[in-house]
Amino acid sequence: MTEIANPVSSAAADTARLRNLRRSLFLISSPAVFITFALPLQAEDLGATAFEIGVLYSLFTAAVFLVRPLTGIGLDAVGRRPFFLVAAFFYLSANVLYALSDSVIGLYVARMLQGFGFAIITITAVTMVADMVRPAVRSAAMGANIGAQTRGGMAGGFIAFTLVGVAPTLAWTVSFGIFSAVSLGALVFVWRVIPETRPATQRDSQEHDFKTPPQYASILVIIFLAAFAAALIQPFYLIYLRARFDVELYMLATAFLPMGVAWAVLPGILGRVADRFSRAAVMALGLFLAGLCYPLAPLAGGFFPVIGVFLAAAIGAVLVEMTKNAWVADISDENALGRAFGLAALSAGGGAALGPIAGGVIYDVYGPDYLFYGAGAALCASAVIAAALHPSAKRT
């Protein structure tokens, strides 16, 4: 693969690179929706307790926690493309092991490998986007990445959920066999078409000292609290719905549809709007929306009202997710983008690692309703911090 020698490329070339980047993310993300749906249920069916399910999620986030800061350093020192290739390989390995696993321990190993891949690809993708786009359109570009990943997950989920309906006992193994084949194709695609966006000649000519940019510490706190809140709920969401409403498996699958559509469609649309406003204001709005919606879930009187609450919270989460990376890129030195994203991801990983364990304890000791109250409190606290940054929020 020939690296790009000129860091200042035409708009048409950057558009083509972004398109190929998103195609790669689409393919790599094919298991995302199904695994969110099926992993806690599969673990429970294999005999895992709520605490063990929390550990399963924390293994993933611990891998993310450990790998992302190192990835950030490597992105600035070595370049972007090698890490994208390594991430694609980890995803392939994880999918193969998921297909072969018949015990909780097997799920643990596969989950850690998936965590390595997720840690590397997420920070690499946002850094590559930051290399290629101007601050004025960063939220929209970050949102387009999210949309591509969500559409890939929904396409994979459609296949897997069809198998759940046709052959439920084989759905897990066959689905991950298909995902393994798709991951292999993604690895080949990445090798052939994804370029280096930070050439070696440019890296060698730049200083590599990292200086903490203004507002950075506060942004890290916001990211930590938002990740912790999401991780309190995610491992137990479907278990909560199944226990509360005693619905069939296909009904649980429908719970993902409106949120999946929101994550697939809204990032690109909201990103273009969000780019017109202060990052701090957009973050505060998204955090408040999600933080006010989650505590309503235990009060909703039926299955579909609960889904509606989660859909509204998902809109807030979309605003947060597409804006936080654009904000970090705005305030950071372009020669240290990898490390800036790495530390931000480390903060998110810390919250995501603690959330499932805390959620498991809360679920077992106090009951599931308190998961939603705790998540709402954490999100509203982070929204207050974001709102306080609004007067000083500036783009570079």
Q: How far is CA 43 from CA 102, 107, 228, 232, 239, in A?
A: 10, 8, 22, 17, 11
Q: Tell me the backbone φ, ψ of residue 32, rounded to 5 degrees.
A: -60, -45
Which pLDDT belongs to residue 347?
A: 86
Which range of residues forms the domain containing residue 166? Answer: 16-193+211-392
**pLDDT given for residue 64 in this prediction:** 76
Terminus-to-terminus CA distance in the chain, angstroms? 33
Q: Among candidates 310, 288, 352, 347, which has minimal Cα distance to 58? A: 352
The answer to the question of residue 201 being in a domain is: no
pLDDT of residue 113: 92
- CA dist 385 and 282 (Å) reads 12
Phi first, then psi: give them for residue 57, nearest 5 degrees: -75, -35
* This prediction's pTM: 0.74
Give the pLDDT score at 58: 74
Residue pair 293/309 in contact by the 8 Å Cβ criterion: yes
DSSP annotation of 78: T
Q: Is residue 53 part of a domain?
A: yes
**Stated length of the chain:** 396
The answer to the question of residue 7 being in a domain is no
- Would 70 be classed as within a structural domain? yes
Give the count of domains, the chain. 1
Within a domain: residue 75?
yes
- Burial category of 115 from C-beta neighbours within 10 Å (exposed 0-12, middle 13-18, buried 19 and up): buried
Tracing tokens 């998902």 back to the chain, one arrives at 314
Reduced to 3 states (helix: H, G, I; strand: E, B; else coil), residue 61 is helix
- CA-to-CA separations, 184 to 17, 95, 307, in angstroms, rounded: 20, 10, 35
- How many CB atoms lie under 10 A from the CB of residue 203? 17
CB 135, CB 274: distance < 8 Å: no
**291 within 8 A of 383, measured Cβ to Cβ:** yes
What is the pLDDT, as a whole number, of residue 233?
85
pLDDT in tens, 253-292: 666 677 777 777 788 788 787 888 888 899 999 999 999 9
**pLDDT less than 70: residues of the chain:** 1-13, 199-214, 247-250, 252-256, 391-396
In-domain check, residue 169: yes
Reported as type and span, the H/E element at residue 200 is helix 200-204
Give 27-37 pLDDT, tens digit per residue: 999 998 888 77
Q: What is the DSSP string of 106-134?
A: HHHHHHHHHHHHHHHHHHHHHHHHHHHS-
Q: Tell whether 2 is covered by a domain.
A: no
The Cα–Cα gap between 163 and 74 comes to 40
pLDDT at position 255: 66
Looking at the domain assignment, is residue 364 inside a domain? yes
pLDDT of residue 249: 63
User: Domain with 118 in it: what CATH number?
Assistant: 1.20.1250.20
pLDDT of residue 29: 92
* 287: exposed, middle or buried (Cβ count in 10 Å: 0-12, 13-18, 19+): buried
Q: Tell me the two tokens of residue 298.
A: 């235990």
List Cβ neighbours of 173 (8 Å cut-off, separation of 6 or more): 99, 100
Distances (CA, A) of 207 to 131, 132, 134, 210, 333: 17, 20, 22, 9, 10
